[in-house]
Amino acid sequence: MTELLQQLINGLALGAIYALIALGYTMVYGVLRFINFAHSDIFMVGAFAGYYLSRVAPQASVTAGVFVLLGSMAICALLGVIIEKLAYRPLRGRSTLTALITAIGVSLLLQNLGQRVFGANPKSFPVLFPQHYFQFDSGLVIASTQILVFVVTIVLLFSLRHIVLKTRIGTAMRALSFNPTAASLVGVNNDRVISFTFALGSALAAAGGILYASNYPSIDPLMGTLPGLKAFVAAVLGGIGNIAGAAVGGLVLGLVETTVVALGGSTYRDAVAFAVLILILLLRPNGLLGKRQAEKV
Amino acid sequence: MVAAAAQGRLMGALLELSDCTLRFGGLTAVGNLSASVGERSLMALIGPNGAGKTSVFNLITGVYRPTAGEIRFCGQSLVGLKPFQITKLGIARTFQNIRLFPSLSVFDNVRVAFHLHLKHHSVSSLTRLPSFHAEEREIANRTTELLEIFDLARVRDEPAKSLPYGNQRRLEIVRALATQPKLLLLDEPAAGMNPTEKIELTRLIRAVQERFAISILLVEHDMQVVMNICERIVVIDHGVKIAEGTPAEVRANPQVIEAYLGEEVPAAAVTG
Amino acid sequence: MLPRSQLALLGALAGIAVVSFFSGSYDPYFLDVAVSCGINITLAVSLNLINGYTGQFSLGHAGFMGVGAYVAAMLTTAASATLLPLLGGQHWLLFAVALLAGGLGAALAGLIVGVPSLRLKGDYLAIVTLGFGEIIRVVLQNIDAVGGPRGLIGIPAYANLFWAFGLAAVAVYVVWTMVNSTYGRGFIAVADDEIAAEAMGINTTRYKITAFLVGAFFAGLAGGVYAHFKQYIAPQGFGFDRSIEIVVMVILGGMGNTTGVIAAAILLTVLGEWLRQFGDFRMILYSLLIIVLMILRPQGLFTWSLPQRKAG
């Protein structure tokens, strides 16, 4: 029983991080019908931003932690906006393959610049928030970093929900995702909304990066690939373009992955995501919460 | 005209829809539709916007599978067959929003539609035996022939997308004819055409039907075009058949007039 | 009298044989680059059939190359003791058999990837093929019998200029003759508009599978030549990075433009070598190249019209 609970907590903590990253993929896909391959590398930049910012902040306090988190989110939000403006905006309206390849190019650029600037060797991520391990008599252990993940994720998810449902720009985002032409006809500034979407998604990825690095404290310029891919699978699992779906997908994937490892298949933990992806695309390509999109003949 | 239609009926239906229903979740796009198209006949399927006309085409050509009912072509059931298999049986179509192959030239757009009747396939393209070349030549000749009939031979090497709209529609018809169908489905062939082009199209459709001895089923909004060429008309509204008969019969049908009220009333209906 | 295309092929092979004969007197570095060019031409042209002509975004081509490389290498190393005597001790025959086996293995992989991918389009298809490519790499990494992550060493140096360019010539011949026939126009029709193609009686499923099979087959052959050229292979060399390299060649050359793709393969191989002097900067420049290319000239360097299809 304890074992089950432990795995549940581990799985949810991992899944929450996937969810945060997945939200970025899904929101951008929602407004642009485009898979931002470089998103995983923004996650990486977030972790590194946290690393460098922490040098400025005093060690391990709540204020330091919040400062680093928000700072990193801001930096990545800006990065996301810049990338969109320089690399993706010129391609609006062109074929999806063109955009996909460009995104791959941006991803490679970020990775290689990262290796150049940060150095290819892994760095040790500092402790940002006061660390503590909560041990229960049953043997259950919960790390404060895991609690951090839950708290931050919940706060961010509710904030996102508020933005998307209750603010003007959130409504504009939803309008854009339904019908870009109609949206611009009713006065939505598509460019601005898209920039905002990228900023939002990138900020969430940064948060994901910080949380991930807090739980797995070794960071390197290529760290984004695997979590990014898994988060993408989570987004597809939940129904790409669907925000609630990204959250659900993330949690489900986290749980599935943890279960597989617990059952002894740790060498194949990464393959789990691929397997899920292929299964989902073959059986239910619109994901758990997505709707069927039929082509008009 | 009536006698010819009656004769078409007597020869046995080419295409027969029996109680065809198509449902998407809660929406019934086509409801219990029964109709038949005879051999060598010119028929039209008309109805107000959103009546389900293109859905009927999609049912016949296998893009959609009927939720209930039967569709038979030359006695054979089409339900469950894939579109290319249905084309193989002898039904070809054009599309409401033109679907030419933009990367291919005018010539190749038609040539590729001869694919069905090719004796040679992948390996033969590699070995390039004399019989391969002979067949390629034959197909090239027949393609050129078809293009010449429709006065498109001069632009044969142009990319299909560079043709003016009216020519693109004609090209789509030519391409469909290359599959050597017994039944040709035309989805709003007159859409977007000016009056001169429409007269030309009317002439063309009649000529095609005669020359190739096929049946043509037309979905069309333009009543002049419909009344001028078709022997029989089926009218549907909200997926259900509301009338069937000769142009004269349909014109006078009160239900048809009512269905079109609020829309462009068929000019011919006013004069009776 | 043979048709023109076959005469051209035979002529090319003869020419390559002659040039290859004098390999000993060429600068070894030049030879190196040349063989790489030949291998890359085969890879790019075979991918072009899948991506360019048939419009199926495949991002896992390196996986097929890997399968071919490993199968061929295993036959010429581990299995050579049994096989060589059966083939009369002829090494070139062993190589040919190994290559073929590699190609067939890769074709099988192509089938496994192609079939499930049939109803996917655009981005989704790209991601799934990417996933399959990575799965192949992970599987190879986990098979100790072929060396696991450390790779396979001691592969005999059977490959030379003739094999590399001869294979390229055959690949070009196959793809070109297949596509330039009435049958072959079907590939492009499938890429342009699947629904219209089906309506014209084209069995789109069969075309897509054929493209994957043939494309994968040649990628496998290229992998076999690669293995016997470098004499060492490892799973990491057949992953996403390699797949992207090949994709960029196809895009640079213009999707569905065989001559363009050949030129692009050569250009990028040489460029890659030239960039090596910049060390770390090589990949940075390469990724910038990709971005700039897609923004300024997505139709490639050698095609004049913009890509027509809006996929996905």
Question: pLDDT per residue over A14-27, tens digit each?
Answer: 999 999 999 999 88
CA distance A73 to A67: 10
Kindly report which listed range (A179-183, B9-13, B179-183, C251-255) carries the lowest average pLDDT score: B9-13
Mean per-residue pLDDT, B176-202: 91
Partners of residue A234 on adjacent β-strands: none
Residue C256 phi/psi, 5-degree rounding, is 75, 25
Contacts of C178 in chain B (CB under 8 A): 122, 125-126
3-state DSSP call for residue C67? Answer: helix
Average pLDDT (A102-118) is 92
Q: Chains A, C: CB contacts under 8 A, how many?
A: 101
Q: Do A109 and C135 touch (CB under 8 A)?
A: no
DSSP letters for B201-262:
HHHHHHHHHHHHT-EEEEE-S-HHHHHHH-SEEEEEETTEEEEEE-HHHHHH-HHHHHHHBT
The DSSP element (H or E) to which B71 belongs, if any, is: strand B68-73
| Residues of chain C below pLDDT 50 | 310-312
d(CA A267, CA A9): 21
CB contact under 8 A, C244 and A108: yes
Q: Do C127 and A35 touch (CB under 8 A)?
A: yes
**Interchain pair C195, A297: CB under 8 A:** yes
CA distance C140 to C149: 8
pLDDT in tens, C62-121: 999 999 999 999 999 988 888 878 878 788 888 999 999 999 999 999 998 888 888 787
Integer Cα distance of C111 and C128 in angstroms = 14
Enumerate residues 6+ apart whose C-beta is below 8 A from C180.
B125
Assign B250 a pLDDT band (cuts: 50, 70, 90). confident
Q: How far is A253 from chain B (nearest CA, A)?
A: 30
* Between A33 and C41, the higher pLDDT residue: C41
Residues of B in contact with C174 (CB under 8 A): 126
How far out from the chain centre does Cα C208 lie? 17
- Write down the pLDDT at residue A292: 56
Residue B258: both structure tokens together: 């009512």
Query: What's residue B6's pLDDT?
Result: 47
Q: Do C183 and B124 lie within an 8 Å CB cutoff? A: yes
CA distance A59 to A26: 35
What does the pLDDT read at residue B184?
A: 95
Distance of CA C161 to the CA centre of its chain: 17
**B 125-144: CB under 8 A from C:** 125-126, 128, 132-133, 135-136, 139
Which residue from A minimizes the CA distance to B53? A297
Average pLDDT of chain A to the nearest whole number: 87
Q: How many CB atoms lie within 10 A of CB A137?
A: 6
The confidence score (pLDDT) of residue A265 equals 72
- Identify which of C173, C180, C200 has the shortest CB distance to residue B113: C200
Of residues B1 and C206, more confidence is placed in C206
Q: What is the pLDDT of residue C281?
A: 84
Q: Which of B270, B248, B196, B244 is nearest to B47 (CA)?
A: B244
pLDDT range class, residue B5, cuts 50, 70, 90: very low
The kind and range of the H/E element at B187 are: strand B183-187
Q: Which residues pair with B244 in a beta bridge?
A: B234
What single string gives the DSSP state of each residue in C71-84? HHHHHHTTTHHHHH
C127 contacts A95? CB cut-off 8 A:
no
Render pLDDT for A185-233 as a digit per residue (tens, 0 to 9): 888 888 899 999 999 999 999 999 999 999 898 999 999 988 998 999 8
Q: How far is CA A278 from CA A234, A287, B29, in A?
A: 12, 12, 33
Q: Is the pLDDT of residue A126 over 70?
A: yes
**Angle value at C-alpha C168, between C162 and C174, nearest 5 degrees:** 130
Q: How many CB pairs under 8 A join A and B?
A: 4
C6, C189, C210 ranked by CB distance to B101: nearest: C189
Chain B CB contacts of A297 below 8 Å: 54, 58, 63, 95
A100 falls in which pLDDT band (50, 70, 90)? confident
Chains that touch A (3 or more CB pairs under 8 A): B, C
The two structure tokens encoding residue A105: 């190019």
Q: Say whether pLDDT at B272 is over 60.
A: no
For range A254-277, the mean pLDDT: 82
Chain A contact set for C120 (CB, 8 A): 281, 285
pLDDT at residue A70 is higher than 70: yes
The whole-angstrom distance between A290's CA and the closest CA on chain B is 16
- pTM for the model: 0.87
Task: Classify residue B69 as left (phi > 0), alpha (psi -120 to 50) or beta.
Answer: left
A297 and B CB contact within 8 Å: yes
Taking the CB of residue B56, how many other CB atoms lie within 10 A of it?
29
Set of chain C residues whose Cβ sits within 8 Å of the Cβ of B187 = none
Residues C286 and A106 sit within 8 Å (Cβ to Cβ) = no
- Report, as an integer, the average pLDDT of B108-115: 93
Phi first, then psi, for residue C99 (nearest 5°) are: -60, -50
Name the closest residue on chain A to residue B94, using Cα atoms.
A297
Q: How confident is the model at residue A272 (pLDDT cuts 50, 70, 90)?
A: confident
Place of tokens 């089950």: A4
Q: Is C256 on the interface with B (CB under 8 A)?
A: yes
User: Is the per-residue pLDDT at B10 higher than 50?
Assistant: no
Determine the residue type at A202: S
- Inter-chain CB proximity C287 and A98 less than 8 Å: no
Q: How high does pLDDT run on average in chain B?
A: 86
CA distance A164 to chain C (A): 26
Q: Considering only residues 48 to 87 of chain B, which have any Cβ-Cβ distance to chain C shorter than 8 Å?
A: 61, 63, 82-84, 87
Question: pLDDT value at position C305?
Answer: 61
Asked whether residue B2 carries a pLDDT value surpassing 60, the answer given is no
pLDDT of residue A294: 57
Give the helix, strand, coil percentages of chain C, each rounded to 5: 80, 0, 20
